[in-house]
Amino acid sequence: MGGGTDLLLEIQQGSKPAVEALVDTSRIAGLDAICRDGEHIIIGCAVTHAQIARDALLTRHGTCLVESCGVIGGPQVRNVATLAGNVAHALPAGDGSIGLLALGGDIEVTDATGSRWMPLQDAFLGPGQSAIDHHRELLTRLRFKATSLNEGSAFTRVMRPQGVALPMIAMAARLRLTADKTIGAARISLGPAGPVPFLAKPAMDLLQGKAATRQWFDEAAALVLESIPLRSSKYRATQEYRTEMILTHLPMVLARAAERAVEGESGQ
Ligand SMILES: Cc1cc2nc3c(=O)[nH]c(=O)nc-3n(C[C@H](O)[C@H](O)[C@H](O)COP(=O)(O)OP(=O)(O)OC[C@H]3O[C@@H](n4cnc5c(N)ncnc54)[C@H](O)[C@@H]3O)c2cc1C
């Protein structure tokens, strides 16, 4: 367990069986740090959302992750809950997972025989089901390539106004622009949509080589809707409402990522 904000509730409420032993990652030396290693930014599994939300390196080189972790729960949750726990829990609406997926993140999985890196999207097998074997493996670190001078990222989410709740829909994007403002590379992630955090591949492919304009951002949002398995949920939002929110907000997220690719990432 990281902060235990999901796990302890699940055990208390009986949706997970009682356990004989828990390994608490929060005080393992070295795993509570955020650092740069060459082109990557590496985040230890004990790093909390609050740490991410105020980190200067991440603000400059992975703004959408700062934005996504900064809205999780309330301050009490963010002070103890970890990005590793968000990813390992594999919820389709995990805000941190959606931010990291747009950045093209990897996770490091460690067992008694050693460690291996795997792409973040391969870690998600289904709702609440990750590829990490919780009985013998730990997610030890997370990483992504730092955004460079011509890259920007952004995240937003739409939720009910009453405060602490999972989102109706959240979305994040990372764009790389060339000198003439053509899109060199694009990544777009959304959730909840389907069983796992959703990577919008057709829309990412569409944007490649296109001008970074509102027209293409609208087209990308429309294309997302052709492939995304949106559904109505009893407590959160109808499929129709989620559709409208994607058409409204995704072009704005893409435009903000493009602006940051020109002006620099800052989270402003
Ligand atoms: C009031 C409230 C509000 C919330 N709001 C949001 C929200 O707005 N957005 C959102 O995305 N989530 C939200 N959550 C869910 C939760 O807080 C986050 O998913 C959080 O990131 C989980 O992190 P944790 O460290 O507490 O995980 P834990 O509860 O400790 O663990 C979660 C799961 O991951 C596993 N795990 C944890 N760390 C590791 C590791 N290093 N290696 C292997 N497995 C590991 C555990 O075994 C468990 O299965 C909320 C929860 C609460 C209680």
| CATH number of the domain enclosing 32 | 3.30.465.10
32 residue type, one letter: D
Q: In what order do the strands lie in the sheet with 34-37?
A: 34-37, 40-44, 138-145, 106-111, 114-119
Average pLDDT over residues 18-44: 94
Q: pLDDT tens for residues 66-85? A: 999 999 999 999 999 999 99
Residue at which a domain ends, from 145, 179, 206: 145
Query: Within this chain, do residues 24 and 139 fall inside the same structural domain, yes or no?
Result: yes
- Total structural domains within the chain: 2
User: Containing domain of residue 76, as a range?
Assistant: 19-145
164-175 pLDDT, tens digit each: 667 899 999 999
Residues 124 and 211 in one domain: no
Same-domain check for residues 74 and 155:
no
Domain assignment present for residue 12? The answer is no
Render pLDDT for 197-249 as a digit per residue (tens, 0 to 9): 999 999 999 999 999 999 999 999 999 999 898 888 877 889 999 999 999 99
Which amino acids bring their CB within 6 angstroms of ligand 1? 1-7, 9, 25, 45, 72-73, 77, 81-82, 84-86, 88-89, 94-96, 132, 134, 138-139, 164, 166
CATH number, domain of 239, equals: 3.30.390.50
pLDDT higher than 60, residue 255:
yes
CA atoms within 13 A on the CB side of 127: 7
Domain assignment present for 235: yes
> Going by CA atoms, what residue is nearest to atom 11 of ligand 1?
94
Atom 9 in ligand 1: residue holding the nearest Cα: 72
Q: Looking at the structure, tell me whether residues 141 and 159 fall in a common domain.
A: no
Q: How many residues does the chain have?
A: 268
Atom of ligand 1 nearest to the CA of 74: 3
Q: What is the pLDDT of residues 177-188, one digit of tens each?
A: 999 999 999 999
Give a yes or no: residue 11 inside a domain.
Answer: no
What percent of the chain clears pLDDT 90, i.e. is strictly above it? 85
Q: Is residue 220 part of a domain?
A: yes
Question: What is the value of pTM for the model shown?
Answer: 0.96
